Amino acid sequence: MARLFTKRIIAHCSREVLTPGKVVSHPTSSLQLGLPTANCSRFFSTTQHCTAERRYTDKHEWVTLDGKIGTVGISNYAQDALGDVVYAQLPDIGSSIKKEDECGALESVKAASEITSPCSGKVIEKNEAVESKPGLINTSCYDEGWLFKIELSDPQEVKTLMDEDAYNEFLKTDPH
């Protein structure tokens, strides 16, 4: 399960509480969060990101799980092989799909590719940002460039997919 833990950054200067990145004028100089200044105490922020385990298909789709919800996308290898993605057709919300079913398509300046579902279930969300800006797949295939979310009908199917190490070995040994 992916979780993001964040602590707030707070700086106290003459009774003012600053928010990250906010610039406040100070009688003697400009104060920007993070710069040492007289009469100012600082607290630093740390962010810890626990990533969910990403599983891969031999057709270069990936899925991460959060309970029974899977987030699906394509791997860095796949986006690189496609080139600049110019069109994304994603599965409709509410549609039921089976593992290995074709459920969408991606088109680039040099190729077209079907999207194959890594698991069975019902589509509960699609990334509309990717439909309007398909280039997100190229710039952020694992974060902002995810394709759709699916409520899994059989979460055990995910265990049959490759983990990160197995997928990297697959990329080294298998012609794609």
Task: Please give the pLDDT value at position 46.
Answer: 34
d(CA 41, CA 39): 7
pLDDT of residue 118 exceeding 80: yes
d(CA 39, CA 170): 57
Task: Please give the pLDDT value at position 52.
Answer: 65
Q: Tokens for 87, please give them.
A: 């069109």
Task: Please give the pLDDT value at position 162.
Answer: 97
Task: Please give the pLDDT value at position 110.
Answer: 87
- For residue 113, the surrounding DSSP H or E stretch is strand 112-116
CA 161 to centroid of chain Cα atoms? 19
d(CA 16, CA 84): 47
pLDDT of residue 17 exceeding 60: no
Average pLDDT for 128-148: 97
Task: Please give the pLDDT value at position 174.
Answer: 63
Global pTM reads 0.70
- 155: which DSSP letter? G
Burial classification of residue 131, based on how many CB atoms lie within 10 Å of its CB (0-12 exposed, 13-18 middle, 19 or more buried) = middle
pLDDT of residue 49 exceeding 80: no
Residue predicted with more confidence, 129 or 174: 129
